[in-house]
Amino acid sequence: MDFLPSLSNVGAYAFFLDFDGTLTEIADTPAAVVVDPRLPAALASLSASTGGAVAIVTGREIGTIDRLLSPLRLPVAGVHGYELRDAGGFRLTEASDEAAGARIESLLAEFVAQNPGLLLEKKRGALALHYRLRPELEALCLALVRELADPLPGFILTHGKMVVELRLHRATKGTAIGLFMQQQPFQGRVPFFAGDDATDEDAMVVVNALGGITAKVGPGESAAQYRIPDVPSFLSWLSATADTFEGL
């Protein structure tokens, strides 16, 4: 995989972008993330030039993305496609088993209380067990969440960067992009997706199948067509692309 291509046809592309690890560096905890000052301006410029065909596709909740990018407000797929905000407003794309989720949350909260440094993040439709501050507990965290998820075939377990996430639904980032691509301003454009983690691979597969462009930020196996080494490099490319489109 090579560095990303130069894009010049402003009306041809729809941009779908992961957040943590792609647009921002991953922090020790989700609340500690720092947004590069270049990012909101680049996203706003790109969105204006493409007629709004820029969406964030993330594991975070939509409200969190709005806060981090304020005052910018973009289309967003949150919690891996469970939440969707498009031109028609906010909606949930799948049903979730909240009762089973509450039972699992209670068990994970007890486990976290017994192991300082772990963090349980509760999101609408998902639970994420972060062990970045306790990396020696990785195997134990993964085994516990897998044991809790195994009897529940409707749940999706994903092992990401220092996190084990349990989704209480069947939505993915790929299904979210498919929904966006059915409507304006995304419809009829070539989709572009950039991500960095295992949870982004569903989107890579979907965008590749649609004849789009996919990029992996950082190391690791991926179905992406292109590779870019790190977040600063991708931000530089994104800013340059936004500047190019703005000048057309």
C-alpha 58/C-alpha 61 separation (Å) is 8
Token pair for residue 11? 């009306």
18 is annotated as an active-site residue: yes
18, 86, 197, 200: the active-site residue: 18
8 Å CB contact between 72 and 163: no
CB neighbour list of residue 233: distance below 8 Å, 6 or more residues apart: 3, 217
Q: Which residue has the tokens 């980032």?
A: 173
Side-chain-side CA neighbours of 20 within 13 Å: the count stands at 24
Q: For the chain, how are helix, strand and coil distributed in percent, rounded to 5?
A: 35, 25, 40
Residues that are catalytic: 18
